[in-house]
Structure formats: C-alpha cells, structure tokens
Structure 1
Amino acid sequence: MKIKVCLIQDSPVFFDKEKTIYQVENLTKQYAKKGCELIVFPESFIPGYPRGFSFGATIGSRTTEGRNLYLEYHKNSVDVESKDLKRLEQLSKSENVYLVIGITEKENTNGSLFCSMLYISPTDGLLGVHRKIKPTGSERVIWSEADGDSLVSFQTKIGKLGGLICWENYMPLARMAMYKMGIEIYIAPTADAREEWTSTMQHIALEGRCFVLGCNQFFTKSMYPKKYQSLVQNEPENMCRGGSVIVSPSGKILTGPLFDKSGVLIAELDLDEINLNKLDFDVIGHYSRNDIFQFNVVNQPEIKKEQNFK
C-alpha cells in the first residue's frame, strides 16, 4: 500500500487560537487538494510553542506578569471537548484527510496544560490524544506530564499510526512502547531544530523499521506580536530553523531536512518497505530476545482500530 503524506513547516498566529485554527484549515485544504492523505503539524502549533518565554518563573519565585501570561496561554489552548475539536474533525472529514496536530491542551476539570498531539480520522473523528509524558527542562513550568494511558496507537486504513513528541523520542523505553504496537508510520512533532535531530529521526526509523515523520516549526523573533517582543529581546532572530524530515524504514532520508524557511515536505510511502527491511532487523520480532528481556508499560492501551477498518 502506498500513501501520500505531508509535513507542514510553518508558524502559527502566535497565542491566537482562532486565527491559528483558521490557518490549519487553509493549509489542510491546500494540500489535501494535492492528494495528501495524512497531514502533520508541529509541536504545540495551536496556539504556538512559547520559545524564549520564562513565564516569570525562577527557582523559589514567580511573578504576576508571568501568571498573567500563563492565563493568556491557557485561554488560547485547545479543549478537546469544545467546538475547537469539532472544527478540526469537520475539516478532516470534508477534505478526506487524516490530521495529526500538535496542540497545547487544556481540560475543563483543572488548570493544567499538556503538550499533546491529536490524531483525527476523516471517518471516525478524534481517534485519540497523546500527551507528552515528560516535558523537557523549563517546559515543566507550563506543561503537566501524562502517564502510560497516553501512549496511544491506531490501526487505520493508511497504516498503524503512533509516535512521541520532541525529546520523548530520546526515552528508549517510550520508543519501545511504540514499537511494541507495531507502528508503521511514526510521527514525531518537535521544537528541536538542531541538525543532530535528523540523526535521531534516522535512528528511530532504523531501530523501529518504520517510516518516521519529524515535523517542526519555522519561527523567527519578528514573528512574535509586538507585545511579546520584550520577552525575547536577547534571543537570536532565527529562533527555530525547522528541520522537518521524512525517513524510510531503511534510515534513508526521503525528503528534507528543510531548514531556515517555511514550507512543506511531501512524500509517497510504500508500506511494503517495512517488512522488506525486517529481514535484516525486527526490534519486536527475531531481534527481541524475549527469553532474556521482559518489557511492561503500565496502563498503555491496546492499539485502537478505526470503526471502518477491515
């Protein structure tokens, strides 16, 4: 089976949920018309990854200004029980395309935020949500962490989908939790724009014998609205270079990495390449050595099948 995938390397309308969702709608419609069956957006694309912000937090103290900024971020985050999700589900359905979108997510029941990615099917709507299980560094000021029930995967008409966000991909056991589900298209939205990230994506493709879709934003300091400019005055102009990339199960780069500009990456994936490459190495098959190693993930759900999957 061959499928056409698209990675969006662009910038959001920062801290403006409504305008960013409108941007997602326009970009999705544009690339669905080109025959793309799966479209991926970067980490926290809605309402934006707050690179360079401190939220007024230092060890032992927080500021009123930082709390007010967090409140603004919270108001512009996505509630999956709201009309925000309905718009994205309708978009997926009307354009007949699968969407994987990085968001900052809020819940009605508490004030915490999560760095999440939504999996949306054109037939089933929201398949599920992966929440980052360990925010990195200062991200822990603004994002809570999830547990094993967030390590989701999905059997769909275009293959088995799953993945991790940004530096979760450096957690070997988190990667193994994905491999155990037989992931075929491994999705890795990120905010890591280092050239070394490309090597990480190639390693995961080789280790998991899966296609890897690494998707990042391109973002410059001047893209921040004026009211935020003072918060990042000491940052370089080119704050996030991008580096989106698509890698085959043999570790070969199919397209990318794309640096220093907005754009898209489009590739056709032949899922037969997955088993073709498992002759050499199969992390959950003939290389697993279950007689030596035992692996258990607490609360990880079974792979979820689309209702119309046959």
Structure 2
Amino acid sequence: MSDYTTQFRAAVVQAEPAWNDVEAGVEKTIALAREAAEGGADIIAFPEVWIPGYPWFLWLDSVAWQSQFTLPYAQNSLEVGSPLWGRIEKAARELGIAISLGFSERDHGSLYIAQAFIGADGVTRTVRRKLKPTHVERTLFGEGDGSDIQVIDTEFGRFGALNCWEHLQPLAKYAMFSQGEQLHVAAWPSFSIFEGAVYALGPEVNTGAARQYAVEGQTFVLSPCAIVGEAGQALVADTEQKKQFLAVGGGHARIFGPDGRELAEPLAPTVEGLLFADIDYSAILAAKNAADPVGHYSRPDVFRLHFDNSRKAKVVDRPLSPGAEQPADDDLAQVFPG
C-alpha cells in the first residue's frame, strides 16, 4: 500500500568524477554523502557511472584509439560486495543517509552501466543495469534484462531509477509507472559532448526528458548530472578538435516535482555542488487526480504493455533423458544467476 504522507529531504549531485580512480571515486562519494547529510538530506543521488566516470573516449575516435582507455576503465570499475563497496555501505550507515549510486559495474570481467540503492542502514537493496546501452556504449557495456526495469520498496516508498536515454524509451517508462513509482532517479553523465552541434545530446532535450518523466509518471524526479572538468577533458581529448567535441562543463542537475516544476535552483554548468529539495508525497495525489496514465487515464481496451520482468539465466541445464521435467526459469536463475 502506497503512503502519500511521506516527507523527507533529498540531495542531487552535480560534480566531476574522479576519472579512472576507483578509490578516489569512493572517497569523493563518501565526502558528498557527508555534505548532503550535514545539509539535512535523507537521500543523495549520483550521476550515471559516477564511478569511475563516464567513458567519453567512446564518442571521440576510432575503436583502435579507444583501446588505450578500456583496460584502465575496467580496472577502476566497481564490484558489488567488494571492500570498496563495503566502505560506501558503511558510510551510508554511519551518516544515516540513503545513496542512489551510478557506477560501472564489473562482473566477471564484463561491464554494465549500473545503479544501486543503498539504504540509510547501509544495506544494498538492489542493483539494476541499463537495459540497452546507448549507441557507442554498446562497444563497452553489456545489457540488462526485464528484471532491471524495477521499482522497489524503500524507506522513501516506491523507488526506481533509470540512466540517461532510458528516459526516451516509452515502454520502459510505462513499465516503471505501472509499478507505483513515487521517487525516481534520472541519472545523466553531463551534457558537454558535441555541445551546440547535436541538439539531442544537449541539456534542453535531456532535462526536458527528466521533467516529462515527472509529469507523465506523477513522480518526484532527482536528476543528478556530472561535469566534465579540465581533468576529464585532458584525459581523453588529445587534440584541439576533441576538446571542441568535449567541452568543459555540461552540469545540469535538477529536481522536479510530480507536476513538472523545478524544486531547486540550478547550479551553473561548470560548478560543483549539491541541489537540495524538500519532498512531500501529498503532491503526487494532486498530480494523479489530473492524469494517471496507468490508472484512471489509461485505456487498457486499446493499449496494453507486455512486460517480461523475469531475470534471464545465461545457462539452461537440460536433462539428458527425453521427457524429463524441465526446471522453471526462476529456479535456474537462482542456480545460474546472470
């Protein structure tokens, strides 16, 4: 049962990652969580692949040129359950703040664009993966499955998260809305790539997508966004043309209410800091009274979504004897987690 009396304070990150330095990334995560807690926040949201930073090299040159970056990137990606992961969990517990963390997840050598929810008790409640990496991201990252389009119960009610252009996927959004989402994290990597040349990658379109998500789903949206600073630019932009392709700045963090209004004053695109907003879920009821696309504003006699949210096993063990009973997919997923 959803509770619409919940009130809390949220913080959203706009900052430059510690590029390809997982230990420094964890330390900066903890420092920002501490700053948010000192500002009265109950939850803090971090950008897409905050650790170890977004792989901008994917957008700048050939695959052969990119190869110099892929190993350091993989080495500095974060493993769930590792000692470094434990430090973030410990910080959440000691500070009493929940953390929505964007990170490059390393799992048996493969990388995934992942988001985790760590409760204020320091317990990791979920890790979800980007369902379909966007464009050149597919050369580096694997895909999630239907189980990653998820909304979970937390101390803040029904919580969900998506990365970047997942917010341009209408069916994914509808699947999220259908699960009663109240608080959503829309995580972005910064809007500095091809600045002024490719409008679809810029802040107008993408902050608009986060705002539209809030209005369509009648949810509060925390929209963290990273910055490309001089360190990030110097790491991957080795020519003047590449520096033009990847400009310094690109930070456009936002917080939106369920009616689409901005709840925090934005920072300048080159400025690091936190946005704070006080959240009151009673505003969701007011917004849903006008339009609820998965409730009274839906037409299931005309449109319905087929949504397979099961986790898919990578190995299916088939018996040698014909006609033997096949294990269910759910059972296999427990034996052969993917």
TM over 0.5: yes
**In 1, distance between residues paired with 2:29 and 2:79?**
16
CA contact (8 A) 2:151 2:158 kept: yes
Instruction: Determine helix, strand or coil for the equivalent of 1:78.
Output: coil
CA contact (8 A) 2:233 2:247 kept: no
For the pair 1:183 / 2:184, whether they are aligned, the reply is no
The one-letter amino acid paired with 2:259 is S
The aligned counterpart of 1:287 is: 297
Does the C-alpha gap of structure 1 residues 23 and 298 become closer, same or farther in structure 2, counting only changes over 3 Å?
same
**In 2, distance between residues paired with 1:231 and 1:140?**
25
The aligned counterpart of 2:92 is: 92
**Structure 1 vs Structure 2 CA RMSD:** 2.0
For the pair 1:136 / 2:134, whether they are aligned, the reply is yes
Does the C-alpha gap of structure 1 residues 267 and 96 become closer, same or farther in structure 2, counting only changes over 3 Å?
same
Larger Rg: 2
The aligned counterpart of 1:265 is: 275
CA contact (8 A) 1:208 1:249 kept: yes
For the pair 1:45 / 2:50, whether they are aligned, the reply is yes
For the pair 1:277 / 2:287, whether they are aligned, the reply is yes
The aligned counterpart of 1:20 is: 25
The aligned counterpart of 2:81 is: 81
**In 1, distance between residues paired with 2:264 and 2:29?**
22
CA-CA distance at 1:129 after TM superposition: 1.1
Report which of the two has the higher share of helix. Answer: 2
CA contact (8 A) 1:55 1:67 kept: no
CA-CA distance at 1:267 after TM superposition: 0.2
Does the C-alpha gap of structure 1 residues 234 and 68 become closer, same or farther in structure 2, counting only changes over 3 Å?
closer
Report which of the two has the higher share of strand. Answer: 1
**In 2, distance between residues paired with 1:271 and 1:227?**
42
Query: Gaps (5+ residues) in structure 2?
Result: 1-5, 192-202, 312-338
- Equivalent in 224, 228, 231 of residue 223 of structure 1: 231
Give per-residue Cα distances to partners, 1:148-174, cap 9 Å, x unaligned. Answer: 111122111222110210001000001
The equivalences for 1:146-295 within 5 A come to: 146-193=144-191, 194-220=203-229, 222-224=230-232, 228-230=236-238, 234-236=242-244, 238-260=247-269, 261-295=271-305
Query: Gaps (5+ residues) in structure 1?
Result: 302-310
Aligned length in residues: 293
Instruction: Determine helix, strand or coil for the equivalent of 1:164.
Output: strand
The alignment's TM-score, normalised by the length of structure 2, stands at 0.81
Percent same amino acid among aligned pairs? 29
The aligned counterpart of 1:112 is: 110
**In 1, distance between residues paired with 2:56 and 2:303?**
40
CA-CA distance at 1:297 after TM superposition: 1.4
The aligned counterpart of 2:10 is: 5
